[in-house]
Structure 1
Amino acid sequence: MKKFLLLVRDQPPPPNTIWFYNRNEPYYEFTNFKEGFPIKAAIREPFPGSPPDIKSWATSEHLFQAAKFKNTRPEIADKIRRCPTARDALNMARKYQQYVDPSWQSINVQVMEWVVKNKFEQHPILAKRLLETGDQFLVEHTELDRFWGDGGDGSGRNKLGEVLMNVRKHLRDTQ
């Protein structure tokens, strides 16, 4: 099976499809690991009458992983925010998996859409790049993830690709 996955990965994407995932390939900026595009956002609801606690998040991965803990362990969310890399943020979230908000599985796609929308709205150069994809199908092409990605062979759910296409439509509709 692994041989098949490698062959699929090494093939070009189907027509009208953009694959993204690898650091040194086009469209890496569509991943949540792309550095250089910090996001300003508040993940906690402010007390009534107080301003939101807006913080800077190094990558969209930092913000997404921290959101898992906003209601259960905000101190873990803050540790994640301070991680030096997106990989470190992911690993820290995995380390504290037992403290993830119990409702996470029912809201994770909605949170991802909020994170990605913030990323692209706050960085016009990224919004332009996303809009330039037109109506092409966007696929996080990796055998490492069958939920956010396509599983490397098309069997995955490609939720990150769907989120990006939704954000692209939002950007187009609000121009």
Structure 2
Amino acid sequence: MPDTTATWRTVDDDVVRGQQRLIFVRERDHHVLTTLRVYADGVVIWQWTSSDFDGLRAAFDDGTLTLAPPEDSEIIVSGTAAGPASLESWLAPEQVIADLADEVDRLNDRPDSSGRCRDALIAYAAEPSRSNLEIVRERYHAVPEHQRIYMLGDMDRNDVPVRILLAEPGETIPARRPDRTLTVTPRAREQALEYFRRRERGVAESRERDTADGPETAIAVPLQVGGHVYPQGWPDPPGLEVLQIDYPAPVVHGGREYPTVMHAYWALSTDDADWRDRIAAAVRGFDARVTAEKAPRRDNWPAVRLGVMAALLRDKFDRHPAMARRLQETGDARLIYTDGGPRYWSSRGTNWLGRLLELVRSELAGR
């Protein structure tokens, strides 16, 4: 794995995860050791520059960024040291860029280049066709070269089983030890195939143990909740619309009744009594949110807003059994809240509303 550490930044109140590593940036006649940060949304940042992967590649090309400054150039480690140094990097810029692209995949919970190659290897081991082998070849060469021995095998074999499969019978390839070679035979290819079959069986057994209490994730097909506007009135009878926080369903908080969860949430976001009354009196939930945008926020609102929303949703479904049944009818589906409001709550960001609805649904089922 590349030598990176976790980092993050906020975008519209959402936390965007990232990874960072050290890099040298050129400043006039010297180079400064700084951090190069990459985020799940593909943004790349160094010092005061925010860019993308194209910008990162251009910065390496023109010398703005470097892994090892030219010999005897002045380098500065801020607050620690300065002076000439002779450094040598075992990586090339393209390898670093490939590593960071893999980081973006992992930050988004997607298979990285090694994961995609492993998937292709398992498919080829199950069906050793020429077309499947070509997919393996393409994906193998997409894995950063310095990562292949760590990611596509084990400590004893490294990536030798993959290279055996990619070679032709009779071809000689380097063995695990650089001073040795091996000749690929049909038997060696079959052993390599069996190696990946055993690995897949081991993974399946491990997955079965890990999921003894049920699936690790919700079902693959999500349900879309929210984001629907009905100027002519809500559907009758309603469907998933009842799960929206602006659906007419009175809730009570602190002894006061509000027309909807949305009214209550935004009213509780301010300590100003007059603003709270105006928000609570809004005709629709949307109007309550728009009104609240002008109101002063409670000082501790970011710290308490998640708990407030959870309490309001619990109250809503406790008070309205038919709506609670509709929520439970969604089973264990992942609930994606598609709303045009704050990204914090919707699928455009961290989908906290969808996640809280799943929590309340589980609590209802547990009763």
Q: TM range, normalised to the smaller chain?
A: 0.7 to 0.9
Q: How does 1:1-175 map to 2 (within 5 A)?
A: 15-21=220-226, 22-23=228-229, 26-35=239-248, 37-42=249-254, 54-69=255-270, 72-96=271-295, 99-142=296-339, 145-151=342-348, 156-174=349-367
Alignment RMSD (CA, Å): 1.9
Q: TM-score, normalised by structure 1?
A: 0.74
Between the aligned partners of 1:167 and 1:23, the Cα distance in structure 2 is: 24
1:15, distance to aligned residue in structure 2 (A): 3.9
- Deviation string 1:73-114 (CA, Å, 9 cap, x unpaired) is 122212211111111111111011xx2111101111111111
Between the aligned partners of 1:116 and 1:142, the Cα distance in structure 2 is: 16
- Deviation string 1:27-47 (CA, Å, 9 cap, x unpaired) is 122111112x111332xxxxx
Between the aligned partners of 2:324 and 2:245, the Cα distance in structure 1 is: 14
Cα pair distance change 1:144/1:103, threshold 3 Å = closer
Q: TM-score, normalised by structure 2?
A: 0.36
Between the aligned partners of 1:160 and 1:134, the Cα distance in structure 2 is: 17
1:146, distance to aligned residue in structure 2 (A): 2.5
- Deviation string 1:138-164 (CA, Å, 9 cap, x unpaired) is 01124654321111xxxx210000110
Q: Percent identity?
A: 25
Choose between structure 1 and 2: higher strand proportion. Answer: 2
1:76 is matched by which residue type in structure 2? Answer: W
Q: How many residues align?
A: 141
Unmatched tracts of structure 1, length 5 or more: 1-13, 43-53
SS at match of 2:252: strand
Match of 1:3 in 2: none
Does the Cα contact within 8 Å between 1:140 and 1:158 map onto a contact in 2? yes
Query: Is the deviation greater in 20-29 or in 104-113?
Result: 20-29
Which structure has more relative contact order (CA 8 Å, sep 6+)? It is 1
Structure 1 segments (4+ residues) deviating >6 Å = none
Does the Cα contact within 8 Å between 1:143 and 1:150 map onto a contact in 2? no
2:285 is matched by which residue type in structure 1? Answer: A
Does the Cα contact within 8 Å between 1:32 and 1:61 map onto a contact in 2? yes
Unmatched tracts of structure 2, length 5 or more: 1-218
Does the Cα contact within 8 Å between 1:65 and 1:93 map onto a contact in 2? yes
